[in-house]
Structure formats: structure tokens, C-alpha cells
Amino acid sequence: MTVTPMRQRLPSQQPAPRVTADRFREVRTATEFLVGHLSPEDCALQSMPDASPIKWHLGHTTWFFETMVLEKCEPDFRAMRPEFRFLFNSYYVAVGPRHPRPQRGMLSRPSLEEVRAYRADVDERMIRLIERGVETDVDALIELGLNHEQQHQELILTDVKNLLSLNPLEPAYRPAPPASEGRAPALHWLRYSGGEQEIGHRGGNFCFDNETPRHHVLCNAYELASRPATNSEYLAFMADGGYARPELWLSDGWDVRTAQGWESPYYWERTDGTWRVFTLGGLLPIALDEPVCHVSYYEADAYARWANARLPSEAEWERAAANLPVGGNLVERGRYHPDIAPDAGNQVSQMFGDVWEWTQSPYGGYPGFKPAAGAISEYNGKFMANQIVLRGGSCVTPASHIRASYRNFFYPHQRWQFTGLRLARDAA
């Protein structure tokens, strides 16, 4: 099947909708819902330096509104707990010193109750501010803060999964979801003709600065897999010695694989000849037709080489997703685990939700990219080195948070995020 270019709309000049108190409450309440399934002990622990305690997530997302918004807007601003400015700063050097990230799990105090009191205090002040009315630049900061909180909602589930996986009792965050039904549709290839196209955010609603400016790129003709790779397909790679064949691996990836002893995706374990996977619903048998998940960029790239294919560029991925509605297995479904792809006929499926899809594109600024002024400039731009772009969201991404132009990014060795892959290849 050949997909021809569609006429692209120019970026909208209409401003994004103003943030309402109801929207603020909705996002903040969604965070509390996710944490409501956890004990205070669950919320205090840090499983690894890349993860954070849930209590810290609650404090940091509140710190953002207090430091970036209330401190700017309240004439008589007074921090509820001045020491929280230090404890809950993440990487904003311009704001001041920070507690070291690898030591966040040492913060037995403040207690979870104190952090929740901090959230309640800031929420009350923020709602008063929103209802009173704010300038456009402040409204934009609030919207950024809400999207920032949605990122941390995803991280809460990702970090909790890592934490619980280390417990020998193999506890579940929530009861296991119903078993996937049906079979994955046969993989077929969709052909996209070459030529000039536009990528980047079109305007008219919120986006992060790294999605701009919208710009032209030139793509050669290519083919994209109709769905992500499945566990069954990945098991075939493993059975063919995929983890023991250096010719399939990038040099850095082979070194990491060797040093860490990778033999399967993260959270997989083999007992009595049967593969099982740790999920937010506990330890479950591998479902062969579900998308493979928790693979690094290095593993995704090695699998693609084995399959005589490659990973798509982010421009190729965005072109395929640009005119699709956002929907699918996202966090609102409550499954918190990838599901089998629906049969979409001669169309792509699972472009949104289930697993973040690795691209082959290094994370950098688009042509003409300029970070915002002030401390907010540190939000995305300072990380534009040595990371790889992922697209599409996962089963723990909020639906209102994801879009075709969204650019996630992780280091190529990282696997604890809900990351999978979709194959691409050059058109014949």
C-alpha cells in the first residue's frame, strides 16, 4: 500500500485555551488516584538512581507550581516550607542548589502526610490564582506545569513497577488486567512516498518547546510496519541467538549487553522453561501476541537488524501518525500493560499508547529551536545530547498529554520505561 502526502495545515495562530480551575483539579486529582493504591512505605523508597520515590514526585510537581508560578504571582508570597525549595528541585540550576538525585530515597522526612499537606496548600493557592485571572505568560506556565505533572504521573507508574519488581514477594500494584484476547494481526508493510513534508507542532494548543518550530524535512520513500513487534517475534530473535551475535549490535550496545548480562527484555524471567514477565499486576506468563516492552534502544536496533529492517526516523514516524486521532491503550483504560494490536486492515495500528516506540533519531533541537527564557529554559533544551527520540506514548500515558508531534527522549541503554519498537525499511 502506498500512502501519498496529505496537504499540511499551517500552524494555527489561535491561542491555546486558558487553564481553568476544573482542569487544574482534574490533573492534580489524577496524580492522587494513582498514588492511592500505594502504602506510605511504597512511597518512600527509591529503587535506582534513574527512578524517584513517589513521595518525591508528589513534592516536586507541587514545587513546580509554588516556585515557578506562585512565587512570581503572589504579592505576599511566602513558601509553606522553605526547605522544600532545596529538597524538591530536580535539575533547575538557575533556581538554586538541589538534593542529589541518587539520594532521594534517604528522605524519610518530610513524611508523606507532610508532603500531601504541602500539595493541599499549594492547590488552594493555585485555584485562587486561576479563578482571579492571570496574564497570558502565567497561564502558559500553569499549562506547562500541568503537562509536567502528567509526565510525572507516567513516571509514578514506571518507577513503582521497578520498585515492586525488586520485592521478592512479587507484589502487584493493582490486580492483573484481563488476559489479552485474540491474535495480533499479521504484520504488513505500508509504503510512504518520498518528498518534502512538514513536522513539528501545528499550533493551536499546548506543546513543549522541543516540538517547535514546525519545519520542512526531506524523506526518501520508506515502508513502515503496520504494528509494533510482538513478544512472539522477539522470542524468535532470542532463539536465533540475538543476544549472542555481536554483528547485530552497535558497539556501545554490545558492551552494555555484556556488562549487564542482558539475555531478554527487562522484567522477563524464565522458570522451568517458561517465560514470565513482571507487570503492575504482578508476575504473569508472557502473552505472545502483545507488543514487546521494556527493551533498550540497543536491543530495538539489534532486533531490527536481525529482521532485515531498521528503526524509523522520527520524521517518518510523525508523517505516518500526523492525521490519526489519539486513542488506544492509554492510562485512562486502567490496564497499565500493553495489549494486542487491533486489526486495522491496511492501516497502521497502535501508533498511540501501549509502548513508546524507539526511533533512530538522536534527540536535538529542530532548526531554529530557541529555549524559553529563564529557569524554564532548562526544561528540555539542556538534555539535547546523547539521547534518542521515542514517539507515541504508552499504556501509562494520559490521553490528553500525547500527540503526533510529541518527542520523548531517553538514553539508549535505559529499559525501565514502557519502550518497544516498530520496524521500518527503505522502499524498494
Question: Tell me, what's the pLDDT at 177?
Answer: 86
Please indicate, yes or no, whether residues 205 and 338 belong to a single structural domain of this protein. Answer: yes
Same domain membership, residue 43 and residue 62: yes
Spatial neighbors of 365 by CB under 8 A, at least 6 apart, are 210, 381, 384
* Structure confidence at residue 258 (pLDDT): 98
Judged against a pLDDT cut of 50, whether residue 53 lies above it is answered with yes
- Over residues 217-242, the pLDDT tens digits come to 999 999 999 999 999 999 999 999 99
Residue 8 has pLDDT above 60, yes or no: no
Of 295, 261, 259, 258, nearest to 277 by C-alpha is 295
- Domain assignment present for 138: yes
Distance of CA 400 to the CA centre of its chain: 13
pLDDT category at 1 given cuts 50, 70, 90 is very low
Cα–Cα separations (whole angstroms), residue 75 to 62, 71, 78, 175, 266: 19, 8, 9, 47, 50
Same-domain check for residues 232 and 96: no
Q: What is the DSSP letter of 52?
A: -
Rounded CA-CA distance 133/19 in Å is: 10
Mark whether 224 and 265 lie in a shared domain: yes
Q: 196 and 153, same structural domain?
A: no
What band does 366 get if pLDDT is binned at 50, 70 and 90? very high
- Cis check for the bond before 110: say yes or no (omega within 30 of 0): yes
CATH of residue 318: 3.90.1580.10
Q: Cα torsion for 75, 80, 81, 85, to the nearest 10°?
A: -50
Contact (CB, 8 A) for 307 and 235:
no
Q: Count other C-beta atoms under 10 Å from residue 171's C-beta.
A: 12
Residues 159 and 205 both lie in one domain: no
pLDDT at residue 47 greater than cutoff 70: yes
Predicted TM-score (pTM) of the model is 0.94
The total number of structural domains that make up the chain? 2
Percent of the chain at pLDDT above 90?
87
Alpha-helical (H) ranges within 18-135 are 21-35, 40-44, 54-65, 71-73, 84-87, 112-132
Interatomic CA distance for residues 229 and 340, integer angstroms: 11
- How deeply is 245 buried, as exposed, middle or buried, from its count of CB atoms within 10 A (0-12, 13-18, 19+)? middle
Residue 329 shares a structural domain with residue 234: yes
Q: How many helices (H) and strands (E) does the chain have?
A: 11, 13
What phi-psi label fits residue 97: left (phi over 0), alpha (psi between -120 and 50 degrees) or beta?
beta
Give the residue among 212, 213, 216, 312 at the shortest CA–CA distance from 5.
216
Mean pLDDT of the chain: 93
Identify whether residues 100 and 189 lie together within a single domain.
Answer: no
Q: Is residue 374 within a helix (H) or strand (E), and if so which, with residue range?
A: none
Domain end marker among 131, 165, 199: 165
User: What is the rounded CA–CA span in Å between residue 156 and residue 164?
Assistant: 12
Q: How large is the average pLDDT for residues 419-425?
A: 98
Query: What pLDDT was estimated at residue 344?
Result: 87
Per residue in 67-112, pLDDT (tens digit) is 999 999 999 999 999 999 999 999 888 888 999 999 999 999 999 9
The confidence band for 9, taking pLDDT boundaries of 50, 70 and 90, is very low
pLDDT at 286 over 70: yes
Provide the percentage of residues in the chain whose pLDDT is more than 70: 96
166: Cβ contacts below 8 Å, ≥ 6 apart: 47
Q: Is residue 4 part of a domain?
A: no
**In this model, does residue 4 exceed pLDDT 70?**
no
Strand partners, 222: 192, 426
CA atoms within 13 Å, Cβ hemisphere of 137: 7
Distance, in Å, from the CA atom of 88 to the CA atom of 106, rounded to the nearest integer, reads: 13
Are 288 and 365 found together in one domain?
yes
Are the C-beta atoms of residues 2 and 192 closer than 8 Å to each other? yes
Q: According to the model, what pLDDT value does residue 314 have? A: 97
Find the CATH number of the domain harbouring 68: 1.20.120.450
Q: Residue 15's pLDDT band (boundaries 50, 70, 90)?
A: low
Based on the fold, state whether residues 185 and 302 are members of the same structural domain: yes
Average pLDDT over residues 278-291: 97
337 lies in the same domain as 363: yes
pLDDT higher than 80, residue 10: no
45 with 152, same domain: the answer is yes
Domain with 47 in it: 21-165
